[in-house]
Amino acid sequence: MSTEQNKPATVPASVAMLRVLESWGVKHIYGYPGGSFNSTMAALDAEKDRIQFIHVRHEQVGALAASADAKLTGHVQVCFGSAGPGATNLLTGLYDAREDHAPVVALIGQVPSTNMNYDYFQEFAENPMFEDVAVYDRTVMTPESLPYVVDKAVREAYKHKGVAVVVIPNNFGYAQIPDTPYSSSSPTDRKPAPLPHATDEEVREVVRLIKEAKRPVIHVGRGIGAGGEKLVELSKKLQVPLVLTGLAKGLVPDEYEANLGYANRAACKAADEAFATADLVIALGSNFPFANLVYRTHEFKFVQIDADAGRFGSHHFLDYGVWSDATSFVESALRLIETGEVEETESTPFFRACVAANQNWREYLQKMMNRESDPLEFEAVYKQINRVAEEDALFSIDVGDNIINSFRYLNLTPKNKWTISALFASMGYGLPGAIAGALSFPERQIFHIAGDGAYSMVMQDLITEKKYGLPVINVITSNASLNFIKSEQDDIAMPQHSGIFLEDQDFAMIAQGMGVEAVTVRSSAELPAAFDKAVEVTKAGRPFLIDAKITDKRGLPVEELEFHMEDGKLVETINANYNANGTLHHPETLEEFFASYDGEELLPMTHYFELEGVEI
């Protein structure tokens, strides 16, 4: 046998690395090439039949897309950037992944090892840049260790539900290393992690606290998972209304009469009012980033039920804590009711009042969504999205007023998938999220909803939809204003708005310049034809953009409603800071306040409290 035949098989280290990622189920990698990443680019070409390179036009878009992809699929996703500016451009998307607990691996280019520590072009000490964002942050030290380190990075990203960073000196990727299996991926990795369960004694104690309370509320987070229908059953049996965190939207049926919606600013009126008057709050599988604001308005007893014991007391001191998966807690409570160990609760005044106030609010939303508007107002846009959306449509929603409006007007069920930049709240998330959704769920209808401020930050990557034939319906609500910030400035004692007005753009014409079909709409009468065209084009496999030129009106700010005791009676008023800059009409009464937002039919929660005899 010849010497050549005796040589062990070898493979470029970068190819071995990609095969590790393939073994973990990675289907595509988002990135923008640079000279310090060329060894990996060569490997991506060699492995193109097994893993797809998605060429975005900005590294931030790649990182945001990887984050969104990980949130939508639950699987590790990968992005990359070259040395120096390519690496720093990734940080926004990586922080989004960190804050929303998404498993993402970031591959970072570095100059060849032979040029390191010589102040070489684009050479930076890159690990320190990622120290805060990453759960795993390593520079590869030898070609042979490259696939091992990447395999380890995937494991750490999954373990910690976070970001793993691997810095790769460019010359290492070209080096030939033994062609042996480097992956530790195993079918056992796919098993769901065991979850804690509440004891019957713990469930009975929570039920006891509910029965003692006069105004109990369950604050539901995404930890409820697939248990939304069961929670509705428990809510009815114990007469406890539900207030949702944003990420729980779609998990509890919107049509349930005691699903009051959302608290704080992206809120529904009855939810804010019920929360502001509750004497018992049960946080069920929820991590509420505005808790230090909303939970401090008044005193109440606080119960926390969470599968992560590390969260106990993070937002409010505990009266009682239960280490348990949210859905299994609900199931245990229903079982105890069924066996007669826990009694159902008769109809309560507080529950009835909340349901009535919620119905009043929903009728207002329906009125606003169904009325004609010229110039166009935002509610009509959501009516058309709901009309054409398929039952399992996927939505990627950007930061700003569209978060508030989506919570209030967008129909979502457990059949849908949707994604937002929840805790980091990075503008420009919507387009990358839609790209990710279209790649990982090609069988679904995809919507991208963004305002003009957020979309302007990333709109160059509309061409990525075109390049890869991603049939996304892009809905841009443009009003030449950073309206979410404008509304905040309404309530600050500053003489005028500052820095929030944008130069308007013809987004449809810009899209057409990229080869993407698009239309501009300026009235509600033009919307049906625009959305019908969007459906037609996307069903043919092409992206479409609707530039909806809406007004910059403010949606009804229910967060401005407040309560206080006056002569032994609960009184509902408007926050004194409302319209502090004098831009809007300042109402003297609640009736004037509601009417200024076309809500003449809206009634304060105190009306329903008096009607039902709620005790304070």
Tokens of 546: 């609707």
C-beta separation of 62 from 93 below 8 A: yes
C-beta separation of 230 from 365 below 8 A: no
- Residue 3 clears pLDDT 70, i.e. is over it: no
Kindly report which listed range (240-244, 448-452, 487-491) carries the lowest average pLDDT score: 487-491
- Residue 198 clears pLDDT 70, i.e. is over it: yes
User: Can 399 be counted among the known catalytic residues?
Assistant: yes
C-beta separation of 51 from 98 below 8 A: no
State the span(s) of the chain assigned CATH 3.40.50.970. 10-178, 376-549
Task: Select which of 233, 488, 562, 591 is catalytic.
Answer: 488
Kindly report which listed range (299-313, 331-345, 543-557) carries the lowest average pLDDT score: 299-313
User: Can 341 be counted among the known catalytic residues?
Assistant: no
C-beta separation of 447 from 473 below 8 A: yes
- Residue 295 clears pLDDT 80, i.e. is over it: no
Model pLDDT, residue 372: 97
User: Can 229 be counted among the known catalytic residues?
Assistant: no
C-beta separation of 99 from 128 below 8 A: no
Q: Each residue of 227-281: pLDDT tens digit?
A: 999 999 999 999 999 999 988 999 999 999 999 999 888 889 999 999 999 999 9
From 609, 599, 615, 613, select the one nearest 268 (Cα to Cα): 599
Task: Select which of 302, 351, 484, 531 is catalytic.
Answer: 484
Model pLDDT, residue 436: 98
DSSP string across 266-309: S--HHHHHHHHH-SEEEEES---TTHHHHTTSS--EEEEEES-G
CA distance 394 to 302: 35
What's at 551, amino acid-wise? T
Tokens of 277: 């008057």
- Taking residues 472-480, what's their average pLDDT? 97
User: CA 317, 320, 324, 329 torsion: positive or negative?
Assistant: negative
Task: Select which of 399, 435, 475, 519 is catalytic.
Answer: 399
Task: Select which of 138, 265, 311, 362 is catalytic.
Answer: 265
- Residue 584 clears pLDDT 80, i.e. is over it: no
From 11, 102, 2, select the one nearest 433 (Cα to Cα): 102
Instruction: List CB contacts of 256: < 8 A, sequence separation 6 or more.
Output: 232, 235, 242
Q: 3.40.309.10, 3.40.50.970, 3.40.50.720, 3.90.1170.40: which CATH number matches 376-549?
A: 3.40.50.970
Strand, helix or coil at 208?
Answer: helix
* 29 beta partners: 53, 78
User: Can 105 be counted among the known catalytic residues?
Assistant: no
State the span(s) of the chain assigned CATH 3.40.50.1220. 200-357
Q: 2.40.160.40, 3.20.20.140, 3.40.50.12780, 3.40.50.1220: which CATH number matches 200-357?
A: 3.40.50.1220
User: Can 126 be counted among the known catalytic residues?
Assistant: no
Total number of residues shown for the chain: 616
Model pLDDT, residue 241: 98
Q: pTM of the full predicted structure? A: 0.95
User: Can 265 be counted among the known catalytic residues?
Assistant: yes
Q: What is the mean pLDDT of the chain?
A: 94
CATH code, 10-178: 3.40.50.970
- Residue 294 clears pLDDT 90, i.e. is over it: no
Task: Select which of 22, 51, 57, 122 is catalytic.
Answer: 122
Q: Each residue of 527-549: pLDDT tens digit?
A: 999 999 999 999 999 999 999 99
Q: Each residue of 491-520: pLDDT tens digit?
A: 898 888 999 899 999 999 999 999 999 999
Task: Select which of 50, 121, 359, 492 is catalytic.
Answer: 121
Model pLDDT, residue 456: 97
- Residue 318 clears pLDDT 90, i.e. is over it: no
C-beta separation of 577 from 491 below 8 A: yes
